[in-house]
Chains A and B, each alone.
Chain A
Amino acid sequence: MTLTFDAVDAWWWPVFFILMAGAAATDVWRFLGVYFSARFSVESEAMVALRLLATALVAAVIGNLIVFPSGALAGTPLALRVGAAAAGFAAYLAASRRMAVGIFAAEAVLMAGIWMEA
C-alpha cells in the first residue's frame, strides 16, 4: 500500500505528512548548512552537481504548473499559457533581468488572451 496524503483517515496524518515531507525534508538541509558552515567550502564539485539537480527539479515543477495546471488556470488554452510564460520570460531578459517586468508582462498577455477568448 502506498502511504499517500489521504491514506490514513485521521486528523493527524496530513499534519504528519506535511511535517515529514515538508518541514523535515527542508530543515535537514538548513541544519546541515549551519553545521558545515564552519567546516567546508561552498564551491566543491559535489555541491555544483547538487545545485544543478535541484534547479532541474524545480524547473520540472514549473513546467508542470504551466502545462498541467489546476483550478481556474486549467480552463485556459495551453498555447496561451505557454505563450504568456514565453512573453514574460522574454520581457524579463529584455529588461536586464527585472523580475517585476517579466511577471507583469506574462500576466498582461494571459489576461489579454482570456479577455479575447471570452
Chain B
Amino acid sequence: MIRISRSAQPSALLWFGRGASAAASLPGLILASAFVGFAGLAREAGFSLFESLLMVLSVWALPSMVVLVGAVQAGSGLVAAVVAVSLSAVRLMPMVMVLVPEMRGAKTRRWVPYLLSHFIAVTSWVMSLQRFPNIPRDARTSFYAGLAVMLMAFNVTVVAVVYLALPHVPAPVAAGLIFLTPMYFLTSLWGAAREKAGLAAMAFGVVLGPVLHAVLPQGDILAAGIAGGVFAYAFHRIGRARS
C-alpha cells in the first residue's frame, strides 16, 4: 500500500477504506451504466478487450474515451485524434484546479496530487467535493484515493464482463446498453453546465456533430466542437453585454 501522507498513521488506511466504500452509491451506479455503454461501443467499433481496458485505465474520462473511439472509427490520423481528445479533456484542468486545493494538506507530499489527478473525472470530483467538508483535511487524499481506486477497479470489471458477454446478449438488449452512453452524457453534461452559454454550447454541438459528419466525416467532431464553442462564446458575450 502506498503511503499517502508523511504521517501515515493507521487512520490513512481507515480513510482509504471509507473512500472505497463511498464508491457504492447512486452516482457510482450511474457511472457504471455509462461504462456498460462504453464496453458495447468499444466492442462494436472493433477494439480488442485489451485495448478497451487500456482506455479505461489510462484515459479514465468517458467523454475523451468516446471521442477517441469516434476518431479511430472515422479513420482519423494520430495528430487529429490527439487534438480532438485534448480539446475534449480541457475541462479536466479547471476541475483539478478546484479539487486539488481542497485535498492538499500541510503534510501532503508534492507528487501525491499529480498521482491522484489521473483519477479525477466527473463522478469522483462531484462526490469528493460534496464529502470533503466532513472529512479532516489530513485524511482527504487517503479518502480520495480509496474512492477513486474503487471506482476504477469496479468499472474495469464492468467493462471486461460486458465486453465478453455482449455477443451472447439479444440484439435489443445490446442496443439498449449502447444507448446508455449518449443518455448518460446528455443528462450529466446539462447538469454540469455552469453558465447559460454552456447549454447553448450543448445544443450547438448536438446538432452540428451529425450535420458536419455528413460533410467532413474525418474532422466532424473537431469542427463541430470549435464552431459550437465559438457560437456559444459569442452567445455568452452578448448575454453579458445586455445585462
Q: Which residues in A have some Cβ–Cβ distance to B below 8 Å?
A: 2-5, 7, 14-15, 17-34, 36-38, 40, 42, 47-73, 75-76, 81, 84-85, 88-89, 92, 97, 99-100, 102-103, 106-107, 110-111, 114-115, 118
Q: B13-21, B79-87, B152-160: which lies at the A interface?
A: B79-87
Contact, CB under 8 Å: A61 / B66: yes
Count class of interface residues, chain B: 35 or more
> Among residues 100 to 154 in chain B, which have CB atoms less than 8 Å away from a CB atom of chain A?
100-101, 104, 113-114, 117-118, 120
Contact, CB under 8 Å: A102 / B183: yes
Distance (whole angstroms) from the CB of B239 to the closest CB of chain A: 12
Convert B211-229 into 0s and 1s, putting 1 for each residue whose CB lies closer than 8 angstroms to a CB of A.
Answer: 0110000001110111111
The SS class assigned to the B binding surface is helix
Q: Which residues in B have some Cβ–Cβ distance to A below 8 Å?
A: 26, 30, 33, 40-41, 43-45, 48, 51, 54-55, 58-61, 63-68, 70-73, 75-79, 81-82, 84-98, 100-101, 104, 113-114, 117-118, 120, 171-172, 174-176, 178-191, 193-195, 197-198, 201-210, 212-213, 220-222, 224-233, 236
Query: Complex: how many Å from CA A47 to CA B229?
Result: 12
Distance (whole angstroms) from the CB of A20 to the closest CB of chain B: 6
Partner of A30, one of B40, B75, B96: B96
Query: Complex: how many Å from CA A114 to CA B179?
Result: 13
Partner of B120, one of A7, A30, A68: A30
In the bound complex, residues from chain B placing their C-beta under 8 Å from that of A111 are 172, 176
Partner of B209, one of A38, A62, A71, A115: A62
Partner of B179, one of A47, A51, A107: A107
